């Protein structure tokens, strides 16, 4: 839905013209008044006590001319002022009415503007604001939909298996299997809740500022050991090449980057595959590359891979909630760093993380 208003009088031009007109009226009135006074003085200086009808008539005519001129100027000025005010206020009233619609949640309304004056600029900026609000509303609804879906699936699974456990004749093997599934789904819910809380804090920049100096290479090695129970059963070969690096930053946040990325690489790497982890130190930054020989990411998915809850078609067959990479990207941004992705379907994926090595503070 688009509302139109026609080209309005330029505010500056209209007000300037009215000012010039008022000045011209005042100047004309002043000159005519001075002329009238000079004329009367000339008559008085003639030492004549008897004014002729012609002299009286001329004085009368000059007075009428002054009054008529002043009246015309006032009328013209009033008309111009009314026209300018109406031309300026009309689009503002349109915008005011549209603002009320937007406040009700209608983000499908826009203003077609034709002028290049102040009102046109206001309308253009207003349309930009509506677009931003519309995008935010879309993201909000999409977020709610994704959250509902992510919670609904494990809850439904838990409910189903709990009901089956009520069967007293259920074999012990099946009972144990169902309990394991319930535990797994509960852990999934717990992780989802933790990730949602973490991404919310990151978005609001409310995570405490805990800047410390720590060994970045040792941190990555600890994460590799921590995740051994995930990569070892898949017989994944790890190629590790880490420079010794002392790094200043939020140790807990930076650690979350490696946990999420290495877990992601393990998840999408098939049995017997390879994962390469490389840390290189340069003068002003450190570069970490995490490469896997997994399924790869299609070109169309690369643009959305860091969106919240986004999962490509191949990812739907894997356990996850689509928040891991969104968390990684946000932490990298807070750390004033950069993250890039290189991937080819059927070949593998490489995440490249660049972090400033002399970080005096984080933007959190």
Share of the chain above pLDDT 90, in %: 17
Domain end (from 115, 147, 167): 115
**End residue of a domain, out of 166, 184, 203:** 203
- Residue 234 is predicted with a pLDDT of 92
In a domain? residue 323 = yes
End-to-end CA distance of the chain: 40
- Number of independent structural domains in the chain: 3
Note whether residue 122 is domain-resident. no
Q: Domain range for residue 181?
A: 134-203
Residue 96: its pLDDT value, please? 80
Nearest alpha-carbon partner for 326 in 138, 144, 216, 195 = 195
Quick check: is 155 in a domain? yes
pLDDT in the model for residue 30: 60
Is the pLDDT score of 222 beyond 80? yes
Whether residues 196 and 218 fall in one domain: no
Mean pLDDT of the region 158-187? 86
Same domain, 197 and 254: no
The answer to the question of residue 275 being in a domain is yes
CATH number, domain of 262, equals 3.30.565.10
Same domain, 94 and 155: no
Instruction: Say whether both 63 and 94 belong to one domain.
Output: yes
Any domain includes 128? no
Does 108 share its domain with 83? yes
Calculate the average pLDDT of the chain. 77
- The pLDDT of 339-349, averaged and rounded, is 90
Q: 32 pLDDT band (50/70/90 cuts)?
A: low
Range scoring the smallest mean pLDDT among 230-234, 270-274, 316-320, 353-357:
316-320
Q: Is residue 100 one of the residues assigned to a domain?
A: yes
């Amino acid at each position: 839905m688009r509302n139109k208003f026609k080209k309005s009088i330029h505010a500056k031009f209209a007000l300037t013209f009215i000012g010039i007109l008022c000045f011209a009226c005042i100047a004309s009135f002043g000159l005519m008044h001075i002329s009238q006074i000079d004329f009367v003085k000339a008559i008085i200086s003639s030492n004549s006590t008897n004014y002729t009808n012609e002299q009286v008539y001329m004085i009368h005519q000059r007075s009428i001319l002054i009054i008529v001129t002043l009246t015309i100027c006032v009328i013209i000025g009033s008309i111009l002022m009314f026209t300018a005010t109406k031309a300026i206020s009309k689009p503002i009233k349109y915008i005011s009415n549209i603002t009320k619609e937007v406040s009700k949640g209608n983000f499908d309304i826009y203003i077609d503007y034709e002028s290049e004056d102040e009102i046109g600029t206001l309308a253009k900026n207003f349309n930009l604001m509506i677009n931003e609000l519309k995008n935010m509303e879309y993201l909000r609804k999409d977020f709610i939909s994704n959250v509902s879906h992510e919670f609904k699936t494990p809850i439904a699974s838990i409910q189903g298996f709990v009901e089956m456990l009520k069967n007293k004749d259920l074999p012990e093997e099946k009972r144990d299997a169902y309990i394991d599934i319930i535990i797994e789904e509960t852990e999934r819910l717990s992780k989802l809740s933790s990730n949602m809380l973490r991404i919310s804090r990151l978005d609001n920049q409310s995570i405490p500022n805990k800047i410390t100096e720590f060994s970045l290479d040792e941190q990555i090695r600890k994460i590799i050991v921590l995740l051994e129970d995930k990569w070892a059963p898949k017989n994944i070969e790890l190629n590790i090449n880490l420079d010794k690096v002392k790094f200043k930053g939020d140790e807990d946040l930076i650690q979350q980057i490696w946990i999420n990325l290495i877990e992601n690489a393990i998840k999408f790497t098939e049995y017997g595959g390879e994962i390469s982890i490389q840390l290189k130190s340069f003068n002003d930054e450190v570069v970490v590359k995490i490469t896997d020989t997994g399924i790869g990411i299609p070109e169309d998915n690369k643009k959305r891979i860091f969106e919240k809850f986004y999962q490509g078609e191949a990812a739907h067959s894997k356990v996850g909630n689509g928040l891991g990479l969104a968390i990684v990207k946000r932490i990298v941004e807070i750390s004033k760093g950069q993250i890039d992705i290189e991937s080819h379907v059927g070949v593998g994926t490489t995440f490249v993380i660049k972090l400033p090595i002399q970080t005096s503070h984080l933007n959190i």
